[in-house]
Structure 1
Amino acid sequence: MLKVAAHPSCRVCKSGLVQAVPAQRRERQNPRTAVQDELPLGLPAYRRERQRRQAAPQRAAIGDLVLDFHRAFDLPRNAGPTLDVAPQIAALRLRLLAEEVGELREAVNAADLIAIADALADITYVVFGTAVTYGIDLEAVVREVHRSNMSKLDASGLPILRQDGKVLKSEAFVRPDINTVLALQRSLF
């Protein structure tokens, strides 16, 4: 690669600190990327890091991780939405959740950030485990609830807040269609 000024009026190019593309014209490899993403220039650290993250393998979804746990320990799981869960298993799921919420309460009262993070992770794990037990794709349900929650903004795009900070529903609020999400859900395994 040649060290040449790529843009005559550009302060960075004039400085000679970049290595520009040789004079021949290059075809863009992907028309959806920005030109600067394809130029073989010395990239600033933040751009190198962004490209490294984009090239990294996708992380497994939380539901998939918890499903792996249920498989490994032969815990109850269902491939699709069902109420066919033994009463003692349903009661266990509720006790586990109450136990983890109690740990969160203790961590908050102790102002222990690490314990708060741990309790939140444990609550999430138990909630997703309960979803696996009932055969629910919880991530799909959460996306639908998020779509609905975003409709709580008023006509001006502003939130309506109760005095304690709780977000209230506006006239534009649209209920989540969880029934359809469950009806269209693919098998968990």
Structure 2
Amino acid sequence: MFSIKTKLMLLILLTSFISACGTSAIDKVKNGVLNFDRTKSVGDGIEGNQFVKEVEWTSFETPQKQKIVEAKVTMHLDKIHDYCYDMINNETYFNTNDAQEISKLRSRNRDEIQKVSRVMAILQFSIYKDNESFEYFYGGLEYTNSKGDGEKKKEDVLELLMKNECPIQNYFDLVGHLLNFKLF
């Protein structure tokens, strides 16, 4: 009938075919690379970021039949707080040279930073019709305060996450927007 070598080849081909067919949209994004950084996969870049606590990957289809992969990236709040503390402790951060005024601003800002109870990045990738390629098309940050109120802000944070940087590059992104929306 079939030799052992032929059977083994068929088994390998069948396994490869099943594996290729079973690749999910999430796996395609997580294992894929983007033009701005082809040295690591999207999943490794996001999940390996020092500020990232956990990532929840999901996929869904829009009413227009567009396949979307979404990553909800929860940040380590203590690391975000420390990063913001370092920012406000920088002498050049405030527009004043008055040491007493700087001290008051730092104290007030530390209190405000503590009121932020969650920072989450929302990243969305669109899967092309060929089901082989994708593009990054939405990024945003969601801030939540200790009362559970929050704000979503569209922000391109993927590159920062892939570079192992904090997705919040300005203290006012964290606290200023929440103050403006009177969430505290």
TM-score by length of 2: 0.20
Determine which structure has the larger helix proportion and give its number: 1
Relative CO higher for 1 or 2, CA cutoff 8 Å, sep ≥ 6?
2
Determine which structure has the larger strand proportion and give its number: 2
TM-score by length of 1: 0.20
Higher Rg: 1
